[in-house]
């Protein structure tokens, strides 16, 4: 009897063990299944996060990106605080016209059915919240946006207005729009900062000023773009595909990049002005009275002489210098990756003039199947007036299978942390269908880059960053209260 019980126990143990092995085997097969249906990492949570951050990243600090966003609250950084709101729940975004106000709301929530004639427009998404656009009276504001996002409780209203509209009856206090007539930074300036990763390693980022604070335009804040490699770990999504009978494949996709189409466009226009200063200026001069022709979103074209062709030539000369920055590498070769070229600036200029500037933004999507999706903005100069100076942009979702059903040996890797021959940029013919470089782009304000979280006096440097190149370091800063019209091109 005892022997029978022992035998039954052993049989039961063997059965349980066999079932356990079978389950484990099934799980391993799922992980190693080379069918296209099971290749993806099945990351549905990322889809919701991407949707949330595509809006909220434009409202809060660039360093606030977190996976636990649903249980976190964030402080708003968009624009500047409204001194007339004692609750601190209103932010002002200085805007020079009604059309730009409408476009900024459209860019914020990703719609294109709002213009200066729209009286009201509500946008809502369960993953984000609700934002309601209302046309202003034209005297105290161009438009307002009521904001209801649980994770950003201290932002209830955005006001799009020009500095002149603050002279109305409702203006109790008028904030210092520029904190000084001549700001510390100008277009094309470069700063660096060091980011500490989760594993305690560090990444050096290089940020380029794509929209400076500028008193003649009523702009108190600065905006910066980062396209340098490598990405910090927080902006990398890593997944290993374990293939049966073959080596593992390690995928590294961009994540939490954010989406700021206005400053991305300013970045593209600035690169065109640096590489084509005469043509950029001539296009503005010829079309001064054509509203379709834009200058850095809502800069006034009559103020173009502050950024004339001589100004851009000085920036160009500074960007192409080899041996002054980055341990004998120019800004073009270090940041934009033309490190193996005999003439880095010529290759960079051909890229921009040839309409081949391609930025990866937002992040990635990969829920099912064998094809991840990356989000791309492609900038070029078109034939229409509105498309001049790199204003022709195509936003696409690039999706491609990375699995070769005929020959698994030809599966290819998408890894945005690996450049080509030390070039510093990301290329992959198999995925994109061409060999143009791709740049992962992130946007931040001066306050977001600041180590204190604030940048209230644009006459001085941003706290916590290091100057790499600054226009007023090479060019003498004028003693007048207003910025100068550049008269001299500094020799290389």
pLDDT in tens, 146-193: 999 999 999 999 999 998 887 555 444 554 444 457 899 999 999 999
Q: What is the mean pLDDT of residues 40-62?
A: 83
Diameter over CA atoms, the chain: 107
Looking at the domain assignment, is residue 287 inside a domain? yes
Domain span including residue 407: 190-474
Q: Which residues contact 15 (CB under 8 A, 6 or more apart)?
A: none
pTM, 2 dp: 0.86
Residue 264 within any structural domain of the chain = yes
Residue 211 belongs to a domain: yes
Asked if the structure places residue 490 within a domain, the reply is no
Tens-digit pLDDT profile for residues 292-323 = 999 999 999 999 999 999 999 999 999 998 65
Q: Is residue 210 part of a domain?
A: yes
Q: Mean pLDDT for the chain?
A: 85
Identify whether 253 is part of a domain: yes
pLDDT at residue number 163: 87
pLDDT of residue 9: 42
The CA–CA distances, whole Å, from 488 to 8, 64, 308, 321 equal 96, 42, 11, 18
219: pLDDT strictly greater than 70:
yes
Mean pLDDT is lowest, of 64-68, 109-113, 366-370, 446-450, for 366-370
The CA-atom distances, in angstroms, between 150 and each of 64, 68, 131, 230 are 15, 14, 12, 33
> Is position 65 within any domain?
no
Rounded CA separation 16/10 (Å) = 10
Residue 170 lies in a domain: no
Report how far residue 365's alpha carbon sits from residue 402's, in angstroms, rounded to the nearest whole number: 14
- Please state, in angstroms and as integers, the Cα–Cα distance from residue 266 to each residue in 29, 177, 269, following that order: 49, 21, 5
The total domain count for the chain is 1
Give the pLDDT band (50/70/90) at residue 34: very low
Percent of the chain, pLDDT > 90? Answer: 59
Residues in the chain, total:
492
Range with the poorest average pLDDT among 10-24, 39-53, 102-116, 233-247: 10-24
């Amino acid at each position: 009897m005892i022997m029978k019980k022992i035998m039954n126990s052993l049989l039961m143990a063997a059965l349980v063990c066999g079932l356990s092995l079978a389950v484990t085997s099934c799980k391993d097969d799922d992980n190693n299944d080379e069918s296209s249906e099971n290749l993806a990492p099945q990351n549905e949570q990322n889809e919701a996060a991407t949707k949330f951050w595509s809006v909220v990243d434009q409202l809060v600090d660039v360093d606030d990106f977190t996976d636990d966003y649903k249980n976190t609250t964030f402080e708003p950084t968009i624009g500047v605080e409204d001194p007339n709101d004692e609750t601190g729940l209103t932010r002002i975004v200085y805007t020079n016209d009604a059309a730009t106000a409408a476009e900024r709301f459209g860019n914020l929530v990703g719609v294109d059915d709002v213009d200066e004639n729209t009286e009201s427009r509500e946008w809502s998404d369960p993953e984000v919240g609700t934002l309601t656009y209302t046309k202003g009276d034209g005297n105290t504001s161009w438009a307002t946006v009521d904001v209801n996002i649980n994770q950003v409780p201290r932002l209830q209203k955005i006001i799009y207005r020009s500095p002149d509209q603050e002279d109305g009856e409702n203006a109790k206090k008028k904030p210092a729009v520029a904190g000084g007539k001549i700001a510390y930074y100008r277009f094309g300036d470069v700063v660096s900062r060091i980011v500490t990763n989760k594993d305690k390693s560090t990444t050096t980022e290089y940020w380029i000023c794509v929209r400076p604070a500028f008193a003649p335009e009523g702009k108190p804040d600065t905006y910066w773009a980062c396209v340098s490699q490598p990405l910090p770990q927080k902006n990398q999504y890593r997944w290993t595909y374990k293939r049966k009978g073959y080596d593992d494949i390690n995928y590294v996709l961009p994540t939490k990049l954010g989406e700021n189409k206005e400053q991305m466009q300013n970045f593209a226009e600035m690169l065109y002005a640096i590489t084509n200063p005469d043509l950029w200026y001539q296009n503005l001069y010829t079309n001064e009275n054509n509203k379709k022709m834009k200058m850095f979103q809502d800069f006034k074209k009559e103020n173009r002489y502050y950024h004339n062709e001589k100004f851009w030539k000085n920036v160009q000369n500074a960007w192409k210098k080899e041996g002054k920055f980055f341990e004998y590498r120019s800004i073009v070769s270090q940041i934009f990756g033309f490190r193996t070229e005999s003439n880095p600036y010529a290759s960079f200029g051909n890229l921009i003039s040839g309409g081949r500037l391609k930025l990866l933004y937002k992040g990635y999507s990969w829920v099912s199947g064998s094809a991840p999706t990356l989000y791309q903005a492609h900038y070029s100069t078109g034939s229409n007036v509105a498309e001049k100076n790199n204003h022709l942009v195509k936003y696409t979702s690039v999706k491609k299978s990375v699995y070769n059903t005929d020959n698994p040996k030809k599966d290819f890797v998408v890894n945005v942390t690996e450049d080509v021959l030390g070039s510093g940029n990301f290329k992959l013919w198999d995925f994109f269908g061409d060999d143009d470089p791709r740049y992962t782009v992130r946007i931040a304000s001066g306050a977001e880059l600041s180590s204190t979280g604030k940048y209230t006096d644009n006459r001085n440097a941003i706290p916590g960053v290091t100057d790499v190149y600054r226009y007023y370091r090479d060019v003498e800063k004028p003693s007048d209260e207003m910025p100068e019209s550049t008269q001299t091109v500094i020799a290389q």
